[in-house]
């Protein structure tokens, strides 16, 4: 089984090659069927693709939906679409490798067409210039490699992974994913790391502090849960 991290929920999910972000194995195969509810279309976001095969002969990633084949995708310099909108509610993700020396493989996320603002687990707050925005985090971002700094009371550094920070703060559940709303503001001089919701954050004294707040209304009460992320 050449599949690595895989979390799939009814409306979204995250998949990665084995050992990601380390080097994927030689002569491996990963094939997974993903789907969202009937009547919806699949949206895929490729967060990372680093496959050592410039001509896609022995190692590549493909996405098959209905009668449409997307790919093959390979290498790390070739143009790869960051977003793929499919014509159906299901698809088969196929990744295989031959002999190689290096390469992280792939990381992708998916959601239904109800969530056109889907992001991947690798996006960070400092990727955005707007002071207010809303994005959809897929299920499965908790265990993706990448640091977060801070805690729910004091806030998180803006170099922290957005979705992982949201899970740490309890705004969304890892197994479900969910919508996050973000407001950026000035930060603080030091962030203290804590363990929360299965994630360890790190202490940090930033040279250029900045803050963002994640605000998620609860579905049943409409009350806003707020945490800071800087």
| Ranges of each domain in the chain | 3-112, 125-229
Specify the length of the chain in residues: 230
Residue 198's CB is within 10 A of a number of other CB atoms, namely: 10
Residue 35 CA to residue 24 CA, distance in Å, equals 25
Instruction: Select 3-112's CATH number: 1.10.1740.10, 2.60.320.10, 1.10.10.10, 2.60.120.290.
Output: 2.60.120.290
Task: Tell whether domain 125-229 is in CATH 1.10.600.10.
Answer: no
pLDDT digits (tens, 9 = 90+) for 61-104: 999 998 899 999 997 656 788 899 999 999 999 999 999 888 99
Question: β-pairing, 29-35 with 90-96?
Answer: antiparallel
Percentage of residues of the chain with pLDDT beyond 70: 86
Residue 96 CA to residue 98 CA, distance in Å, equals 7
| 3-class SS of residue 108 | strand
pLDDT digits (tens, 9 = 90+) for 113-150: 999 999 999 999 888 888 888 999 999 999 999 999 88
Query: Across the strands, what pairs with 8?
Result: 13
Residue 46 CA to residue 21 CA, distance in Å, equals 14
The pLDDT assigned to 76 comes to 63
Q: How far is CA 188 from CA 16, 126, 194, in A?
A: 34, 16, 16
Residue 3 has pLDDT above 90, yes or no: yes
The pLDDT assigned to 81 comes to 86
State mean pLDDT over 156-170.
91
- The pTM (predicted TM-score) of the whole model is 0.87
């Amino acid at each position: 089984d050449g599949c690595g991290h895989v979390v799939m929920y009814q409306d979204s999910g995250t998949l990665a090659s084995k050992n990601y972000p380390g080097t994927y194995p030689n002569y491996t195969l990963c094939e997974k069927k993903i789907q969202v509810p009937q009547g919806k279309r699949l949206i895929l976001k490729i967060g990372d693709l680093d496959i050592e095969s410039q001509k896609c002969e022995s190692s590549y990633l493909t996405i098959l939906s209905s009668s449409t084949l997307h790919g093959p995708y390979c290498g790390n310099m070739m143009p790869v679409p960051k977003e793929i909108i499919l014509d159906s509610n299901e698809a088969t993700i196929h990744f295989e490798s031959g002999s190689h020396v290096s390469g992280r493989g792939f990381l992708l996320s998916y959601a239904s067409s109800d969530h056109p603002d889907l992001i991947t687990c690798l996006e960070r707050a400092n990727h955005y210039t707007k002071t207010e925005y809303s994005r959809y985090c897929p299920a499965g971002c908790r265990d993706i490699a990448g640091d977060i700094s801070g805690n729910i009371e004091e806030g998180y550094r803006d170099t922290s992974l957005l979705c992982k920070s949201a899970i740490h703060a309890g705004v969304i559940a890892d197994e479900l994913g969910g919508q996050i709303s973000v407001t950026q503001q000035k930060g603080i001089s030091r962030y203290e790391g804590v363990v929360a919701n299965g994630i360890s954050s790190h202490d940090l004294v930033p040279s250029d502090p900045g803050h963002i707040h994640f605000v998620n209304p609860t579905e049943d009460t409409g009350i806003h849960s707020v945490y800071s992320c800087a």
